[in-house]
Structure 1
């Protein structure tokens, strides 16, 4: 599968609503949609200037939606899916958010993402709506597109 733009990415993120529940920290189940929004919102609060990190938090769970029966391959699937649209940094953060090797420069970013990933599992927390992230996704995609054009 290849994403042709932010609109297709938004459709996938919308499809996470009600999909494959994630165990909540305080009991109950948190769906992938709420988990993605909570993770991104926590990163927006802790790292307000780092839009790529926030977007990585938003899209990190897409592999679980697309391949729910593959607990080991879902991070690679999500990383490969978003790379052409959102770039290498977002892809790398998604790929390594559950553990594994990372470049030294990514270590602080990965720790922030992993912390938000674990903390973003609270049932009933209002983390906003997905539509609020469209502009940020478009910004990151446009930045990646401009950088790709320079190469």
Structure 2
């Protein structure tokens, strides 16, 4: 499945509420919705200017909704779903954040640093009750990244 609009993505992220808990640091499980928001919020604090990295943190969970019940392939599924909407960098970060993926040959050092930061935020974003804001706060950022990708894609297609 490829997501074609920010609205479709927002609907999918809303559907994460109550879906499949993730392991929690010291308490109740955190649902995918809260985990996504926490991951994005941690990345926003760490790299306030890097909207694509923040968005990668927000959307890295969508594969778990697209194919529930399977334990493998979520990173690739998420990356494939968001790539057409949010661009190659977001897709690449989401795909590579899985275990061991940063050691693939030919990866740029800056990409590796970003993937490691995403992975660290992913691991830390498991705190039940942590207020990481609301999904609607991310709509403008998603629209910005999506429109930037659309503009760059149009330039690439029409030199």
TM-score by length of 2: 0.92
Equivalent residue number for residue 88 of structure 1: 88
Q: Corresponding residue for 2:51?
A: 51
Task: Within 5 Å, give how 1:2-151 maps onto structure 2.
Answer: 2-99=2-99, 100-101=101-102, 102=104, 103=107, 104-151=109-156
Displacement, 1:113? 0.4
Secondary structure of the structure 2 residue equivalent to 1:133: helix
Distance in structure 2 (CA, Å) of the matches to 1:51 and 1:95:
17
Distance in 2 of aligned mates of 1:135 and 1:70: 32
| Equivalent residues, number | 151
Give the greater-gyration-radius structure (CA).
2
Q: For structure 1, which runs of at least 5 residues remain unmatched after alignment?
A: none
Q: CA RMSD in A?
A: 0.9
Q: Deviations over 1:64-102 (max 9, x none)?
A: 111122221111110000000000000000001122145
Q: Distance in 2 between matches of 1:76 and 1:89?
A: 14
Q: Is the 8 A contact 1:68 1:74 kept in 2?
A: no
TM-score normalised by structure 1 residue count: 0.97
CA distance in 2, matches of 1:113, 1:2: 22
Q: Distance in 2 between matches of 1:62 and 1:81?
A: 8
Which one is further off, 134-143 or 96-105?
96-105
Q: State the alpha-carbon separation in 1 of the partners of residues 110 and 72 from structure 2.
A: 25
Task: Measure how far apart 1:25 and its partner are.
Answer: 1.3
Runs of 4+ in 1 over 4 A off after TM superposition: none
